[in-house]
């Protein structure tokens, strides 16, 4: 596999080779630094180069630094779609993120509880402006609990500026108020707890990954307010 394709002379040679052969099924028109247009097919990427197959059958490694911004975005898009389809784009580790408990009387304690989600980028390319939409809630399986807990769920959309290839980012959700208190009988203690987290991750309009912390979230309904971004939707 060769590098250095994108010199003006080499680009012109590859263009002539392509014109002599049949067009690739998934061909894309790349632009060389010299301004030549060369049609090639994406076949893979590493953290520093994209592997492009040309009409003469030769696969060439092209440095991302030699590509135009548009061509880099195309290669990133191909890589992300390919890995996302196989469920190999992101990996997650979840833990609760709780504040200290406080008590104003002898029968009740309150604290703020949320999640810290470690997001690991398994891709060979960086993820910039990764959009996370998430929904999480707390258990509310007791009628008495429902009278005392103010907000049972939270939903939000955020933008993560950048996660480098093979690097991680710790994302913290908002927090909900949980309580421990005695029930109406005075003998039973009720302990508040989080039910789970459901998150979706988008790069532009591509669904990179979806995460549910437990099967409990299968019974939840995704909020209508958290709609998938439209094609070419900018990061907010």
Q: Which range has the worst mean pLDDT, 58-62, 99-103, 180-184, 227-231?
A: 180-184
Q: What does the alpha-carbon distance between residue 227 and residue 76 come to, in Å, rounded to a whole number? A: 23
Distance of CA 13 to the CA centre of its chain: 39
The reply to whether 115 and 214 lie within a common domain is: yes
Domain ranges, residue 96: 90-219
The reply to whether 139 and 214 lie within a common domain is: yes
Q: Is 164 helix (H, G, I), strand (E, B) or coil?
A: coil
- In degrees, to the nearest 5, what angle opens at C-alpha 234 toward C-alphas 231 and 236? 135
**Residue 5 pLDDT > 70:** no
**pLDDT at residue number 103:** 75
The reply to whether 147 and 214 lie within a common domain is: yes
Distance of CA 93 to the CA centre of its chain: 13
Domain assignment of residue 26, yes or no: yes
**pLDDT at residue number 2:** 43
CATH number at residue 200: 2.60.40.10
pLDDT digits (tens, 9 = 90+) for 124-177: 999 999 999 999 998 864 444 444 444 589 999 999 989 999 999 999 999 998
Q: How many folded domains does the chain comprise?
A: 2
Q: What pLDDT band is residue 20 in, cutting at 50, 70 and 90?
A: very low
Are 42 and 29 spatial neighbours (Cβ–Cβ below 8 Å)?
no
**pLDDT at residue number 232:** 63
Q: What pLDDT band is residue 121 in, cutting at 50, 70 and 90?
A: very high
Mean pLDDT of 9-32: 57
**pLDDT at residue number 12:** 36
CATH number at residue 43: 2.30.30
DSSP state of 204: T
The reply to whether 99 and 191 lie within a common domain is: yes
The reply to whether 95 and 197 lie within a common domain is: yes
Q: What does the alpha-carbon distance between residue 47 and residue 65 come to, in Å, rounded to a whole number? A: 11
**pLDDT at residue number 55:** 80
Mean pLDDT for the chain overall: 83
Q: What does the alpha-carbon distance between residue 16 and residue 55 come to, in Å, rounded to a whole number? A: 10
């Amino acid at each position: 596999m060769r590098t250095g394709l994108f010199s003006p002379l080499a680009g012109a040679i590859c263009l002539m080779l392509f014109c002599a052969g049949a067009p690739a099924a998934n061909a894309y028109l790349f632009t060389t630094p010299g301004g030549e247009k060369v049609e090639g097919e994406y076949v893979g990427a590493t953290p520093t180069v994209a592997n492009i197959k040309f009409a003469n059958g030769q696969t060439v490694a092209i440095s991302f630094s030699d590509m135009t911004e548009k061509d880099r975005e195309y290669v990133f898009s191909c890589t992300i779609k390919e890995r996302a389809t196989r469920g190999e784009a992101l990996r997650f580790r979840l833990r609760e993120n709780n504040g200290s408990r406080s008590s104003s009387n002898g029968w009740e304690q309150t604290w703020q509880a949320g999640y810290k989600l470690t997001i690991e980028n398994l891709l060979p390319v960086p993820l910039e402006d990764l959009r996370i939409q998430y929904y999480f809630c707390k258990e509310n399986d007791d009628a008495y609990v429902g009278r005392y807990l103010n907000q049972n769920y939270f939903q939000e959309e955020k933008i993560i500026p950048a996660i480098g290839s093979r690097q991680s980012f710790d994302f913290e959700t908002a927090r909900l108020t949980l309580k421990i208190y005695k029930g109406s009988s005075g003998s039973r203690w009720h302990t508040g707890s989080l039910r789970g987290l459901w998150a979706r991750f988008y790069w532009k309009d591509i669904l990179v990954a979806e995460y549910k912390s437990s099967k409990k979230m299968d019974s939840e309904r995704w909020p209508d307010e958290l709609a998938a971004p439209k094609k070419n939707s900018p990061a907010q």
